[in-house]
Amino acid sequence: MHKSRLRVAIILAAVSALLCAPCSAAQKRTLKRVLDPVIVTGAQIPAFKGADIDSLRVYAEKNGKLSPVPFQIDERGPDGNFVFKGGKDSDNGRLDANDELVFMASDAGGTADKKAWPKGVSKSAAVEIRDPVDGGKAWVYIFSFKGKAPARSERDYAGCTSGCNRIDAYCYEAGFSRRAPMAFDNLTIKKTCNGPGKDAMDRLKVRFHGETKLKIVIDRHEEDFTSKVAGVIDGPVRVIRSTENRMALVGRLPTPSSVSEQIYYADSFVFPIIVNVPVSLDTFMNDTWLRVTSESAYPPKTRFYNSRNKKGVLIDGKMSEEEKNLDAGSYNWQVVAFDDPPVTGAWLNRLDFDKKKTPARIELYYMDDINVKDPPDEYPGQIGNLGYYLKDVHRLGAGHHVLSTIMYAIPSYKPGDESTVMNVVDKPLKVTVK
């Protein structure tokens, strides 16, 4: 009798364990990374192929409940290019393999039981995000709905106004100069991310120097470029701003043009430039360089660091011995950090390009002297005018040359913090769809 009761108790315990397995399997978010945007292509979620994009929603767990999070789906045409506002997509608003569903890793949560799903779900997919560095994980859920889909999240991380010449993101504001429409004249870290909340920038400076084989000297700057906004996508997660830029050279010499598809997120942006070179510049030019820098409007109590100068130097409009002795060699990241608590926000900048396809030398340009002129600009002198020299531009072969600047607005910086930011590109999050 006792054995029978024991056997029944064991069976009941086993059944109970099986029934509770889904409960015990719930996992909490352990992912620490927050800067990363997550892109899921249509090819990764085949269950939704051909679905009406308006029927899709993205949810994440928080405190045991599922709620909608900001996301957007950016369509690409058969040529792989983004379909901008006013453009036509051959799929007529339905999801296909090359479309991109985008959300922020910071919004992902833990796993959720099916009982927590919203009503009316037609199809579903769980997206697991894993950090390859420490194994941290988080999840979101993609749903399609029968009939009218539930309301979206009301949060909007980035937007643009004034013909998309002004960007308003969660952590920063960015604006373009009227005198030099391809160049920033405003990069402000907001108080929400420990910035000053006011514009401390003079402008982005783009300076080109070259000499032809006929000894004609060509000096051009950002005001010699034409730039027009060619397309805009403005969603709750990112703004994609496509511009066409061209620099006027001399006479009938080929004029390199560039198309820039800039992508603005909550706390970062990508500023890629594609330089189209019709013929090899080496055939008619020599002694060439391109200098791309950004400069402060006033001494903003900031410090400069990069991968070769990790101790940092004070930016104050006066060149110190430490500044004069900076290592100007090639670098892969640089930081300008506010040092005026509670204003501790920082810009981290990385420059990426294919060194094999674009065989040009990159060197640091740094000048912090209010008495040294560098016109044209909005404010005279050079206060923390820093960026890169691209040497030997004439050695670029004919074709497309891509240089991508990625800027991150972070709430604070101390030496060593850059590794976490650099991991966004160098060690990307792993995405698995189930």
What are 72-128's pLDDT values in tens digits? 999 999 888 999 976 666 678 899 999 999 999 999 999 999 999 999 999 999 999
pLDDT, average across residues 279-295: 87
Query: According to the model, what pLDDT value does residue 5 have?
Result: 47
Query: According to the model, what pLDDT value does residue 254 have?
Result: 45
Closest CA to 81 of 242, 197, 244, 292: 242
Q: Of 68-72, 84-88, 131-135, 269-273, where does mean pLDDT reach its minimum? A: 84-88
Give the CA count within 13 Å in the CB-facing half-sphere of 182.
23
Task: Determine the longest span between alpha carbons in the chain, in angstroms.
Answer: 109
Distance, in Å, from the CA atom of 373 to the CA atom of 73, rounded to the nearest integer, reads: 46
Helix (H) or strand (E) holding 361: strand 361-369
Using CA atoms of 166, 170, 171, 174 in order, give the dihedral in degrees to the nearest 10.
0
Q: What is the pLDDT of residues 136-190, one digit of tens each?
A: 999 999 999 998 999 999 999 999 999 999 999 999 999 999 999 999 999 999 9
Q: Which residue has the tokens 């032809």?
A: 212
Distance, in Å, from the CA atom of 364 to the CA atom of 358, rounded to the nearest integer, reads: 17
pLDDT, average across residues 314-327: 98
What is the model's pTM? 0.91
Q: Would you tell me which CATH number, out of the four given (2.70.98, 3.40.50, 1.10.3470, 2.30.30), belongs to the domain 158-427? A: 2.70.98
Alpha-carbon separation of residue 420 from 30, 136, 339, 362 (angstroms): 16, 13, 20, 24
What is the β-pairing status of strands 361-369 and 382-391? antiparallel
| Residue 123 buriedness (CB in 10 A; 0-12 / 13-18 / 19+) | middle
Query: According to the model, what pLDDT value does residue 18 have?
Result: 41
Q: Which residue has the tokens 């004249």?
A: 185
Residue 7 three-state SS: helix
Closest CA to 117 of 198, 170, 61: 61
The strand order across the sheet containing 37-41 reads: 37-41, 100-104, 72-74
Q: Which residue type does 193 have? A: C
Q: Of 250-259, 386-395, 417-426, where does mean pLDDT reach its minimum? A: 250-259
DSSP state of 317: S
Contact yes or no for 75/49 (Cβ under 8 A):
no
Task: Round the CA-based radius of gyration of the chain to a whole number and report it.
Answer: 26
Domain positions in the chain are 28-154, 158-427
Helix (H) or strand (E) holding 226: strand 225-234
Contact yes or no for 213/222 (Cβ under 8 A):
no
Query: According to the model, what pLDDT value does residue 391 have?
Result: 87
Q: What is the pLDDT of residues 10-61, one digit of tens each?
A: 444 444 444 444 444 789 999 999 999 999 999 999 999 999 999 999 999 9
pLDDT, average across residues 394-412: 88
